[in-house]
Amino acid sequence: MQGSDLLLAFAATELVASFMPGPAVLSVASIALTGSLRGVAGAIAGINATNLLWYALVGAGLVAIVHSFPFLFVALRWIGTGYLLWLGIQTWRHPAHLAVGRERRRIGFRRGFSGAVAVQASNPKALVFFTVFLPPFIDIHHPVAPQLVTLAIIGVSLEVLALWLYGLMAWRVGRLALSARAELWIARGSGAILIAIALAMALSRAV
């Protein structure tokens, strides 16, 4: 088990990283603006389920396999980016699905979950974080698996906290928009955010 100094350092760093706006935060916020707390819960669950997968991959040493067969990971990232772009375009082109007066059809848990998994699994920074950032907080003189479990619990807990705070703030903003026109623009804004995330990810791989 790591010493308390390593755990505190990891917790502090993870806390800062969790509150930094990025694809995960923007994904949660865009769903929250539609007024769907179920969608927010699904997105947060999807992001952290993917995070747990990254922790498991690091623990099992499978990241090395990904590096040996990079085309598999590249394909996964592009599929995820493509899905995110499609979701954003659909939200922009058909805002009536999200905004029809006060009877908005909100994003459900399942859609929020699948979209968030696509975001987090295709986020290039996630691989960098879990393969490069975690090792400094591992004590090589103790078994690695229990340490990774501890880091995963801390990391996921702080990520859930940060994303819920962002989600609730965006949800409150969404509830202030009472007119159909305002809800229409909120829906389009949500679509624009998703499209921007997808394009940013695509451009980050093209350079």
Question: According to the model, what pLDDT value does residue 96 have?
Answer: 47
Give the max Cα distance, the chain. 61
CA 2, CA 65: separation in Å to the nearest integer? 27
**Could you list the pLDDT tens digit for every one of the 207 residues in the chain?**
667 877 888 888 888 778 877 788 888 988 898 888 999 999 999 999 999 998 888 777 755 655 677 676 567 667 767 776 887 787 777 654 444 344 445 688 998 999 899 888 877 667 767 776 777 777 777 787 788 889 999 999 999 999 999 999 988 877 665 456 666 776 677 778 778 877 876 776 555
The answer to whether residues 95 and 184 touch, using CB atoms and an 8 Å cutoff, is yes
Of 19, 29, 128, the C-alpha closest to 77 is 128
Question: What amino acid occupies position 48?
Answer: N
Sign of the four-CA dihedral 70, 76, 79, 85: negative
CA 18, CA 20: separation in Å to the nearest integer? 6
The tokens of 82 are what?
């493509």
Question: According to the model, what pLDDT value does residue 100 have?
Answer: 39
Question: According to the model, what pLDDT value does residue 181 have?
Answer: 66
